[in-house]
Chains A and B, each alone.
Chain A
């Protein structure tokens, strides 16, 4: 499992960061996901299956984090950008896209990030989200439609 963590922790933390926009929360979510994998390790020996499990746990963790923030503050968070993030997102264009992404319903946001950031197949996206392939397709299509609309409204 240490090897799996060494190989995939960075990618999974980046995935969580894109989903929750908070580096500390992203790191915690990935740690929690690997703790969950640790508890199931006897049942999940296959590396591909282990990666699919932990990726799904990360997506779930991000969903919980969003829910927690939303209930704590009554609205979705507007996480202040770190200095590193500010440098990387110098373009207002990118900021606008990430703002719009954060405004999407959770399922649509997850589908878009898994499909177009991680470049997973629809089947893998569905597995990571814990939904059927049809739902993953639907969430992707609706997410793109919503994102397009939000970006048009903003421009």
Chain B
């Protein structure tokens, strides 16, 4: 735990300790029926529901979140790329200037969110259909009710594209099968589709608490999430055939999905990995391959990459209270899952193909200070040299272009934790 975290804990514990058992009043339950009491708190405070914003207020709300994704640096690679000029002075630029002195062994480019409202935005989803055709989505990170922002990468420039997001809505997953078939799933349980010229809401989307999607084509889309039912939340999977949504037998639930074809999809959730062969899901428990479960640790799979029906990769994390825990790399081969590498004290966000038979694994260090990008090839795990200082770097999401032509990772960097997107071209 860092010094700031220790100071916070010390102050919070001191404040909390001003209350003792004698200060806690007895439980007062309402005498009204459940139906009546829905509309006010137990102390009778009325709940206020704001139904809509005035057009002017809505416009002002949108105006405050038009951040700009600025190309900060493109390090010299084999093709001799030049460092692009600054277009703005984003927060954390000092760190980036220092970072350039580190150099890099691979052609990484990175962009940082800049502009009005940028400090309240977080990159929440990325999807790529080629190294030069991708989408990045940023959403409100501070609870200030901003609308999400969508940027499209064309060539080497990101352009903000009109997106029908709602105030406070987050893009929780994005997937594309082509530049004209891009899907975004939101925290408001909406599915939106880019048809090549505009974003449209897909009607009839029934999902709740979406975790991941697999987009095969315009008429073959899988969504993985969970339903809140009386007995608690249960994993649920939906399929879209171009016209209708159908709830199908559940796969792994919330988590990641990696699809190769309509009859070859891998998905994960908790300590389960599942494969769809076109007719049914086969579930594999990988609990014994993850770091140990203890009273304070709930290990889980955090990312998956499908190579074929007989070949897949997954990353997992011990997920311990406070201390974090260990990360692992798992491989499905020969009909079963195996543990092939330890990632040390790292929480892997994803596992992605590098296009040459190896893997990229973006990860946070578990104490929440430094992140890294692992590369796994020929049985060896190495750490990529990124064009960003590793301290205060966080990588939370990632996406690969088809055939591993490029990998994108998103997160935050610098003392101000400004949103970043990284790209590695194979």
> Are A121 and B124 CB-contacts (below 8 A) given A32-B43, A35-B29, A116-B8?
no
Whether B122 contacts A94 by the Cβ 8 Å rule is no
A1-43 contacts to B (CB < 8 Å): 1-2, 5, 9-10, 13-15, 17-18, 21, 23, 26-28, 31-32, 34-35, 38-39, 42-43
Whether A35 contacts B7 by the Cβ 8 Å rule is no
Nearest-CB residue, chain A, relative to B419: A138
The number of inter-chain residue pairs (CB within 8 angstroms) is 196
In the bound complex, residues from chain A placing their C-beta under 8 Å from that of B29 are: 34-35, 38
Whether A5 contacts B19 by the Cβ 8 Å rule is no
B416 at interface, CB cutoff 8 A = yes
In the bound complex, residues from chain A placing their C-beta under 8 Å from that of B14 are: 88-89, 94
Whether B15 contacts A108 by the Cβ 8 Å rule is no
Nearest CB of B to A74, in Å = 16
B1-42 contacts to A (CB < 8 Å): 1-2, 4-5, 7-21, 23-25, 27-30, 34, 37-38, 41-42
> Are A63 and B143 CB-contacts (below 8 A) given A13-B24, A134-B124?
yes
B193 at interface, CB cutoff 8 A = no
Partner of A121 from B7, B24, B319, B364 at Cβ < 8 Å: B319
> Are A117 and B12 CB-contacts (below 8 A) given A35-B41, A141-B368?
yes
In the bound complex, residues from chain B placing their C-beta under 8 Å from that of A5 are: 27
* Residue of A15, A131, A137 contacting most chain B CB atoms (<10 Å): A137
In the bound complex, residues from chain A placing their C-beta under 8 Å from that of B124 are: 134-135
Nearest CB of B to A77, in Å = 15
7 A/B residue pairs, CB under 8 Å, sorted by A? A35-B42, A88-B18, A89-B15, A94-B14, A94-B15, A145-B417, A151-B7
A interface residue numbers (CB < 8 A to B): 1-2, 5, 9-10, 13-15, 17-18, 21, 23, 26-28, 31-32, 34-35, 38-39, 42-44, 46, 49, 63, 82, 84-85, 87-89, 93-95, 97-98, 101, 105-108, 112-113, 115-117, 119-124, 131-132, 134-135, 137-142, 144-149, 151
B interface residue numbers (CB < 8 A to A): 1-2, 4-5, 7-21, 23-25, 27-30, 34, 37-38, 41-43, 120, 122, 124, 141-144, 170, 172, 187, 211, 230-232, 296-298, 300, 319-322, 347, 349, 364, 368, 392, 394, 396-397, 411-412, 414-417
Known contacts A13-B23, A15-B16, A94-B15; 19 additional CB pairs below 8 A are: A10-B20, A18-B15, A32-B43, A38-B30, A46-B232, A97-B7, A97-B10, A98-B11, A105-B143, A107-B143, A132-B170, A132-B172, A139-B142, A142-B412, A144-B2, A145-B392, A145-B414, A145-B415, A145-B417
